[in-house]
Structure 1
Amino acid sequence: MNKYSDKVGEAKRRLGIVGHSAGLTRAIEVALLIAPTDVSVLVTGESGVGKEAFPQLIHQNSIRKHGPYVAVNCGAIPEGTIDSELFGHKKGSFTDAVTERRGYFEVADGGTIFLDEVGELPMATQARLLRVLESGEFMKVGSSEVQRTDIRVVAAT
C-alpha cells in the first residue's frame, strides 16, 4: 500500500468511481497529487470513461474547494453563442442581448472551471481561452474593457 491508498479509496467512494485497475488508481493518485497546486489540467481518455469525475476530484481537494465549480460542455453550445456563454456579453452587443450577461469565466472567479470537449471550441474562441490561461484576462462580447478572473481551468477532450 502506498501513502495515497486511503485517499484514493475515499475519493472513489465520494465520486462513485467503480474499478480497481492499476491505471485507474494511478490516475486518481496523480489527480490528488496535483490538486493542491494551481496548474491548469488537461484530462484525456476515451469517450465514456468518466473523465468528468477528475475535475471534481481536483476541485474538491484544492485550495479553491470553497469557490465555485462550473462545468461546461463546450461541444453542446452552438458556435454562434459560445463566446457569450464563456465570456459574457454587454447589453446591445448583438440582437438578442437585451441585458448584460456574466459568462462562465466570471461566474467561476475564485474557483474551478471544467471545459469538457474543449477541442470542439472554434479556433477564435480557443485564442480567447489562451489569453485567459496566460494572463487571467478576457473581454465580454461587445466590450473593450478587459476583465480579470482568478480561476483554475481543467479541460477534457
Structure 2
Amino acid sequence: MSDSNQLIQALSNLMKLGAFKDLKIFVEGEVALLFLVYQSEEKMMSPKDIAANLGISKGRVTALINSLSEKELIDIAISLEDRRSFNIMLTPLGLDYLKPKIQKAEAYFSVVSQLLGKEKTDVLVSIINEITTVMEGVTI
C-alpha cells in the first residue's frame, strides 16, 4: 500500500470513531459559529470574520446567524468601530448550550492524553500542527 493510501486509511479510521463524529459539530454549522465566537478574544465577531474563519460564504453565515438568533443563542449588536457592520455575541443561553459540548470534547481528549502520556501527546500535537501547515500550502 502506498504512503498516501496508508495516510488516507489511517485518517479514515480516525474519522469513523464516535468521538470524531461528535467533534464535527465544532467545524461545521451552528455550533462551529458559536464555538468560534466563544474562542475569540473579544467574545464577539463580525459576520465577515466568521465567514473567513469557517471558510463559508457570507450567505451561509447570514443563515446561521438568523437561525441562532431565532433560538436566542446569539445577540446581534451594531459595531462601535463601523456603524455599517455588526457583531455577533453569545447570549447566556448560547453559552449554556455550548458549554456541555465543549466539556464532552475536553473530557474525551483528557482521557486520550492520559492514555498516551504527556510526551506522546506533545508529539501528536506537534505532528497535527505540522500537517496543518503543510496541507494549507498544498493545492491540486
Q: Report the TM-score, using the length of structure 1 for normalisation.
A: 0.23
Structure with greater proportional helix content:
2
Structure with greater proportional strand content:
1
- Which has the higher relative contact order, 1 or 2, with Cα contacts under 8 A spaced 6 or more apart? 1
